[in-house]
Structure formats: structure tokens, C-alpha cells
């Protein structure tokens, strides 16, 4: 059976979480909403509509969701040409591919944003496919993105590992029955990631790469 390494992108392979925080903060400010950057940071990893609902509540004017999302997209789009992968991210994907892991990205990004992230990571040669927000009915923490990534990889939950940086990643993987590995480079505390289901925690992609042959990725469930 093939093995699959499923990766979140923002905050996991690409150093983008704080860019999202700043641009969401500005989008909310422009709409007359005061939302703390700390709260926005904790919500990064949710799809746009879920993030807005999480931060503003279900009693908000939902007719403004599209406007808020578009404002964030426009602001974040100004960074597309400057997005950067974390050190070791590209090497990690190539090292896994050399060990015959199928690499699939599972991300809420799509369109031009996804294209910019893939340029930053620069590992298209070893990426089997992408499960984006456009491919599923519900985003993380629902298991749908993980299920879709498994379908792309052509393997079952016991033959896969999901690598992410948020509690939403960990919860999605757990609900899909997939082992999860957390990285701290997205800024979420270790305790929160472990509580959400992380089976192992590493600092960065480079740290995970250094422990590739001695950690959670050495075996199957």
C-alpha cells in the first residue's frame, strides 16, 4: 500500500500566518469591527466563512461575509510575490518523496493564493495533488479536506500522516482517523496542539526533516 504525507500549507510549509492575521485585522477594521489580533491568530486555519463566524458570532450580519472575505483577499494578495516557505520545507517534501511517500496538500487556499504558495514552496515535482477548499463541502476542523487528500493519494487513513500547525488541522486529522504531526512555527502553543490530537510535535519543517527517520513518520498505525 502507498503511504501519504498530507500537509497543511499556511503556517506549516509557508510563513504566512501572521500575514493573514494582519490582513484579516485590517479587513475587520475597514468594516467597523474591532477584533483582537490574538483572537484572529487562533482562528487562522479556518475557511473564510468559518473564521468570520468564529470571530463575530452567528448573530452577525452574514450578508457582509463576502465583503469581509473579499477585503482580506485583496489585502493578502499584495503579498503574493513575497510569500516565503519555511527553511527546510522544500527539502522535507523531497525527502519524503524519496522515501516513496505521496505528498498531498490540504489547504483552504485556492486560485491565485494557492498558486503563490506553491511557487514559494517550489516542490511541484513531488506534490501528487491538492485538496483545496473548493473541493469539499466543509473545511477544517471537519474531516472533509483530509478525506479528499486521502482520495487523491489513493490510500487509507492508517497509511497516512497529516502535518499541520493549528488545532483545526489536528481535529480534522483525528476525525478522519489519520495520525497528526504538529509544527510550532505557526505560533500555536504545544499544549493546545497536543490537546487537539497531535501525536508528535516538532518546531519547524527543518526540525521534522532532521528527525524523519526516527520519529512518527517511520511507521504505520
**Coil vs helix vs strand at 5:** strand
Domain regions of the chain by residue span: 3-15+84-218, 17-78
pTM: 0.95
How sure is the predictor about 216, in pLDDT bands with cuts at 50, 70 and 90? confident
Q: Is the pLDDT of residue 70 over 80?
A: yes
Place of cell 466563512: 49
How sure is the predictor about 64, in pLDDT bands with cuts at 50, 70 and 90? very high
Cell digits of residue 37 = 489580533
What's the topology of domain 17-78?
A: DNA polymerase; domain 1 (1.10.150)
What is the tens place of the pLDDT at every residue in 162-215? 999 999 999 999 999 999 999 999 999 999 999 999 999 999 999 999 999 887
Place of cell 489547504: 107
Confirm or reject CATH 3.40.50.11540 for domain 3-15+84-218, answering yes or no.
no
How sure is the predictor about 39, in pLDDT bands with cuts at 50, 70 and 90? very high
**Coil vs helix vs strand at 17:** helix
How sure is the predictor about 217, in pLDDT bands with cuts at 50, 70 and 90? confident
**What average pLDDT is seen over the chain?**
95
Backbone φ and ψ of 129, nearest 5°: 180, 180
Q: Is the pLDDT of residue 85 over 60?
A: yes
What pLDDT, on the 0 to 100 scale, is given for residue 133?
76
Amino acid at each position: 500500500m502507498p503511504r501519504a504525507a498530507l500537509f497543511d500549507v499556511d503556517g506549516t510549509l509557508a510563513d504566512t500566518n501572521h500575514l493573514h492575521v494582519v490582513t484579516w485585522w485590517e479587513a475587520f477594521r475597514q468594516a467597523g469591527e474591532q477584533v483582537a489580533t490574538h483572537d484572529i491568530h487562533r482562528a487562522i486555519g479556518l475557511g473564510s466563512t468559518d473564521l468570520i463566524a468564529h470571530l463575530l458570532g452567528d448573530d452577525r450580519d452574514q450578508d457582509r461575509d463576502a465583503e469581509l472575505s473579499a477585503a482580506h483577499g485583496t489585502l493578502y494578495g499584495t503579498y503574493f510575490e513575497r510569500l516565503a516557505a519555511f527553511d527546510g520545507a522544500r527539502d522535507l517534501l523531497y525527502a519524503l518523496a524519496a522515501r516513496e511517500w505521496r505528498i498531498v496538500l490540504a489547504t483552504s487556499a485556492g486560485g491565485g493564493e494557492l498558486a503563490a504558495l506553491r511557487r514559494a514552496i517550489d516542490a511541484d515535482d513531488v506534490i501528487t495533488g491538492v485538496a483545496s477548499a473548493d473541493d469539499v463541502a466543509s473545511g477544517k476542523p471537519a474531516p472533509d479536506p483530509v478525506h479528499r487528500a486521502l482520495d487523491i493519494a489513493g490510500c487509507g487513513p492508517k497509511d497516512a500522516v497529516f502535518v499541520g500547525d493549528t488545532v483545526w488541522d489536528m481535529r480534522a486529522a483525528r476525525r478522519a482517523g489519520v495520525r497528526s504531526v504538529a509544527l510550532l512555527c505557526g505560533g500555536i502553543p504545544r499544549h493546545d496542539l497536543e490537546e487537539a490530537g497531535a501525536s508528535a510535535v516538532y518546531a519547524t519543517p527543518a526540525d521534522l526533516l532532521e528527525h524523519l527517520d526516527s520519529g512518527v513518520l517511520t511507521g504505520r498505525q
